[in-house]
Structure 1
């Protein structure tokens, strides 16, 4: 009951899995949640290999009842909640003319409203503990990227929401941070949830531009991506530093990339860069 307790969403793989193991290694009682506990084998193996224990629970960020049950269960079993790491999310590949508004809403439900569901349920307990609310966003929450309109819109929304919430939460003792990874060596294709070749074939007049974007992005993931453990180091920084920054990038590349936007007053630098990604 005396150890600090952190709840992490989206821990079946990638950054979430690595962050759960890292937090447990650092001495936190770690509640590792995922939508489908049947997909927890890799998480259990990583914990066993690291010699740490995880409290693995179901939590679907798009289901308010699931979120409430998970948070209530943590409080009932552990007696406190000191930090939340919003990591669950899903990629997307598409462009407005070729998808429905309902498709965009689905992306927002997972990547934006899912964060709000968890954060809202956790905040009373984080206020009680003087805790931390940490959200893994993306460099795509700072720089809009071709064929990622819906995903970037969701991540922009998260960044704006948390930046606005941060000073309010701080007045009540809760520290808010966002962590911005660039390319991370998880599976790009599986993360976007669609077959890129099928998407290109169905892209009509956008096919050539999408082909250029996909080829460039897969090449970046293969050659320049961080490991999930490297990205999780920045998540652990937000969790454990005495005075963590609000915005934390996970690599020098991510710092340079987001820096282009933050000094680009008229937008020409960003559009000059990303325009080259589509041929």
Structure 2
């Protein structure tokens, strides 16, 4: 347990499975008081079991990131908040001609506007504590990927918003950062039913989609585990001055390297932060 985190509170969204679940347990093991949120607490069984196995306690609460009233209700009961981890999100596979603009809008609601709803509600508490906002994005927030147009657009939007917010939040004592995992075990497999449906409806795009899926299955065969990502996340939470960008694996770093030379975001933050000095 990190004694410096004792009595510090972190709220994590999307903790029913995957990275969110693993991070909630790892943070609790590291000494944080964890408020683990999810849209439907009836799905909290896996988190409760993992916490019990680890010998830790987490405070499980309802929070739907797409519902401002739900966000306000969850945050309203907090006297203190030292960190927010925006993890809730949803994957999506498709391409523009084969889906509606409403489909794209729905992806943006969860992956972009959901982050804004929760962050906006948390900022007054984080200003009071000198806390931090950590948002899980993706390497898909740096490199646009075929058949992931809507998902990558949302993650690009989150990256741009947080990169722009970071120097502003720093002037009131709040650290803002993003975490970019690459392929994480179980995420791709959990969407197989949806993907099979997309392939069946792909029409002239079916050959390209089939090739893309074959490549992606290979990438997920060597995916990083949620537990490994969670360990990196907690190290980032515990850091005295976390960098703006955390790439969670060498694979993630190699994936974005052709586009990003400023791997930890320090150069951009130094540039834009100087504008406010």
The TM-score, its normalising length taken from structure 1, stands at 0.90
Cα offset for 1:263?
Answer: 4.8
Residues of 2 paired with 1:263 and 1:41: CA distance? Answer: 42
> Which residue in the other structure is 1:210 paired with?
209
Answering whether residue 37 of structure 2 is matched by residue 38 of structure 1, we say no
The answer to whether the 8 A contact 1:189-1:196 is kept is no
For structure 1, the residue ranges without an aligned partner over 5 or more in a row are 265-279
List structure 1 runs of 4+ shifted beyond 6 angstroms: none
The verdict on how the C-alpha distance between 1:160 and 1:193 changes in structure 2, with shifts beyond 3 A counting, is: farther
Instruction: Give the match for residue 173 of structure 2.
Output: 173
8 Å CA contact 1:86–1:115 kept in 2: the answer is yes
1:252: which partner in 2?
Answer: 250
For each residue in 1:232-262, what CA deviation from the matched residue of structure 2 results, as whole angstroms up to 9, or x when unmatched?
A: 1221122110111100000001011111112
Compute the displacement of 1:194 (Å): 4.7
Cα-to-partner distance string for 1:3-45 (whole Å, 9 max, x where unaligned): 0000000000000001000110111100000001000000000
Match of 2:33 in 1: 29
In 2, Cα distance between the equivalents of 1:53 and 1:262? 39
Alpha-carbon distance in 2 for matches of 1:101, 1:148: 14
Establish whether residue 11 from structure 1 lines up as the match of residue 15 from structure 2: yes
Matched with 1:159 is: 159
Instruction: Provide the rounded CA distance (Å) in 2 between the counterparts of 1:195 and 1:134.
Output: 29
* 3-state SS in 2 of match to 1:233: helix
CA distance in 1, matches of 2:253, 2:15: 25
Aligned to 1:226: 224
**Whole-Å Cα distance in 2 between the matches of residues 116 and 193 of structure 1?**
29
- Aligned equivalents of 1:229, 1:135: Cα separation in 2: 17
Deviation of the 1:132 alpha carbon: 0.5
Q: Which runs of 5+ in 2 are unaligned?
A: 1-5, 263-277
- The residue correspondences of 1:24-173 to structure 2 (distance < 5 A) are 24-73=28-77, 75=78, 79-173=79-173
Q: Give the corresponding residue for 1:277.
A: none
Q: Distance in 1 between matches of 2:158 and 2:194?
A: 27
**How many Å apart are 1:186 and its aligned residue?**
1.9
On the 8 A contact 1:189/1:195 being kept in 2, the answer is no
The answer (yes or no) to whether the contact 1:203–1:210 under 8 Å persists in 2 is yes
Equivalent position to 1:239, from 212, 237, 240: 237
8 Å Cα contact 1:8-1:20 kept in structure 2 = yes
Tell me the C-alpha RMSD between the 2 structures.
1.3
1:182-219 deviations in whole A, cap 9, x for unaligned? 000023142x4853222111101100000111121122
Q: TM-score, normalised by structure 2?
A: 0.90
Report deviation, 1:220: 1.4
Mapped partners of 1:91, 1:194: distance in 2: 13
